[in-house]
Chain A
C-alpha cells in the first residue's frame, strides 16, 4: 500500500461500566488513560500530547493537564460533539507526522446516565444566538431533528421502516456477544436484553415520528482512552500497532434548498479514503456513529458504501452482521444503540476499530485488515460535523 504509516493506535481502554454512580467524569478519564497506557506498555510520563473534548467537569483542556500532572507540548481542545475523537485522531496524526509529539492521549468520561441527562428529549440551553432564536420556539428535540432526516429519506428514496430496523437488529446481534454491552442493557433496564427482529423495532414506541425507541441510542455513563504514538514508539509497544492511514474533517448545516439526506460525511469520507488510498469496498469493519438508525444509513451512503438513497436495499439480507460473510461488519461492539452512548460516542468507534484489527473483538471478523471510524457530531438534520478515520492492521 502507498499510504504513509507515521502514527498508530497503540493503547486502548473502554471503561467497563455504563452505570457508575458516585464516579466523576474525570475519574473515568484518568482510570481509562492509566489502563490504556498499560495496554500499550507505556508510562504516565511518556505522554507529551493531550487531546480533550472538554468533557471532564474541571474546565476541559485548561484543567486536564493540571489534573493529570503533565506538561504536554501539544494541547488540542477540539470539541465537535460526538465526532470530536475522529477530529482529534486526525490532529494527532498530523502533529506526530510534524514531529510535535510522540505519545498522544485522547480520553472521554461522562456520567450522563447517573445524572439523568435527557440528551434526546430535553431542551437545549445556553445563551440566545442567531440560530437558537429561530428554533427554540418550536420544541424540536434532538431526536426530532434526526427524525426529520429519516422522514425525508423515506419520502425521497422509498426507504422503509423495516430496512432501517435492520441496522438495530445487526448492532443488537453484536451487543449480545459483548458481555459489557449485555451488562449495560441490563443495568439500564432495557426491556428484553436479547436478540431482536425488525418487527420488535417496529413494535417499539415512537419517540419522534418516524423514529422508534429501538432506533435510538441509549444514554449511559462511560468513557475510555486511546493512545496514539509515532511509528518509532509504536514498534516497541506491547500490542501490534493499528495504523491511522487517512482522515477527513467536514461540516454541514441547514441551507436554503439544501439536501437534508446528505451529511458532512460526503465531504470528509472522500478526503479520508483518498489519503488512505483505499476504497469503501475494501473495508472490513464499519464503525459508524449510531446515535440513530438514520445516522448510520446516511453516513454509509455518504462514505460511498452504496449510492445515495440505496441504503435500504444495501442493508437488506443482513450484510452488516459480523458473521454475514458479506460485510462490512457494522459496530461490532453493539454500538450506541446497544452498548455505549454517554453523549459523545466517537471514541468508541476508534476503540472497537482497533480491537477488530488486533483480533480482540467479541464479534471478531476473521482476518480484518481495514476499518473506518466515522463520527457525526451535532444534529444530522441541522448543524453537524463529520470526522472520518481509516485504520489499518499492521
Chain B
C-alpha cells in the first residue's frame, strides 16, 4: 500500500516533511531566544544567536519563584493523574461490562463535564475551595482538574476495555476468582497499556491547563504557567527567561510521547478510534 501510494504521489512525502519542519520552526525559535542574552534579543534581529548563554537556565533553576512553581505543577498533575485513574478504573469496567439503570445517561453526563468551558467554573471554584480550605494547595488543584480528567479517563479506559472479550471475565469467574481479585490479578495486567495511556493523558491535560489552576492558587501551589504570565516588570518583558520557561515546560510531554505514540490518536479521540 505504502509502495503504491508512494509511487503515485512522489511529492507527498516531501510536502509532509516540509510541513513537519515548519511545525518545528516556532519551537526552535523559542529555544533560540532562550539561549541568547537579553541585550541581543532586543538589540538587533538575527537568525542565529550571536552569543550563546545559559544564563536564563541558571536563573530559572536558582530562583525559587521559578523552580518551585515548576515543581508545583509536577506535583499536582501527578496527583491528579493517579486520583483520576483510581476513580475511573472501576467505572470504566462497569460501563464496558454491564448494563445498569441510567448507564447511558451517566456516560453522557460525564462527557458534558469534559466539554464544559472551564471559565464557567471559575467563580464557584474560587469560593468553594477557599471555604473548604483547599485554596492554594496541590490537593485542591488536583481535585479541581478531576472535573475534566475523570470523564476523559473513563472514556479512554472504556474504549480499551471493550476491546477485551468478556469470555475472559466469565472464565475467571468459573475458576473461582472474585471480581476484585480478577480485576487486579488478570484484568489490570491485560490493559496495562491502556492504564499508561490514560495516565499520560490525565497528566497532559492537567499540565496544559492554566485557567482553573491559576484561579485557585496564589503562592504555595502556583503553577509554572501562572508564573510565566507574570514576567512583565517595569523593565518590560523578560523574553529570554520566558522562552526558557517555555522550553522547560515542553520537555515532560516531549519525553513521554515517544512511549504512547501509537495511542495518541485514541487518547485525543476519547478512546473512540
Do A and B pair up? The answer is no
